[in-house]
Structure 1
């Protein structure tokens, strides 16, 4: 069972961003500056390490996946949830690649059921 999924609208935005920026990645920090939003970066621009958890890879289309990372501290709070990355109108953080498009990524979550846990 994947821990993270993607809405069709978010996949559309990722395809557009990939055309402009190349390979991509997400990081969900839970910090104050990004308002706990999933941040989209060119792959490798945000350095991950032992303080991060790889939640999985989003299959945007054949041959195009986007890895999703979360800080380990944030994962402690969200370890019992399934996350779906969505996109909505409005400006999010200036650090995430979608900001100039007038949209922002956000995470929708649900509790994992007993079978998924």
Structure 2
């Protein structure tokens, strides 16, 4: 079982490749709340100011993926699965012009997985 806190689908990898070809290295940030804040946002690497309470959750397809501290507390027992669906991304997210947007899906870690993750903290 893959115990990474964040993974992505092959469709997300393909879209990351498209965005990376146009913009260079990218990074992701998952905040919380409504509207654009509930979707993972894709930025040129280094152009989004990561805050003191943001947490590096991992990498997807070679791109760092950060999450806000409060959002991590809420989702700490889930694995985030970054996928792609048709539509427009967030206003500042790089995939917007592609007619596709990144989407966060999730699954709960089993009790055994959660125990192993907590021990690794």
| Cα RMSD after superposing both structures | 1.1
The structure with more strand, counted as a fraction of residues: 1
2:53 alignment partner in structure 1: 51
Mapped to 2, the partners of 1:37 and 1:56 lie a distance apart of 17
Quick check: 1:83 aligned with 2:80?
Answer: yes
Once the two structures are superposed, what CA deviation does each residue of 1:6-37 show, in whole Å capped at 9, x if it has no partner?
A: 10001001001111101000000113341400
The structure with more helix, counted as a fraction of residues: 2
2:89 alignment partner in structure 1: 92
Mapped to 1, the partners of 2:28 and 2:9 lie a distance apart of 14
5 Å-filtered alignment, 1:1-117, equals 1-58=3-60, 60=61, 65-117=62-114
- Gap runs ≥5 in structure 1: none
Normalised by the length of structure 2, the TM-score is 0.88
| 3-state DSSP of counterpart to 1:2 | coil
How far apart are 1:76 and its partner, in Å? 1.0
User: After the TM superposition, which parts of structure 1 deviate over 6 Å for at least 4 consecutive aligned residues?
Assistant: none
Mapped to 2, the partners of 1:31 and 1:45 lie a distance apart of 22
Normalised by the length of structure 1, the TM-score is 0.91
- Gap runs ≥5 in structure 2: 115-121
| 3-state DSSP of counterpart to 1:44 | coil
Mapped to 2, the partners of 1:112 and 1:46 lie a distance apart of 29
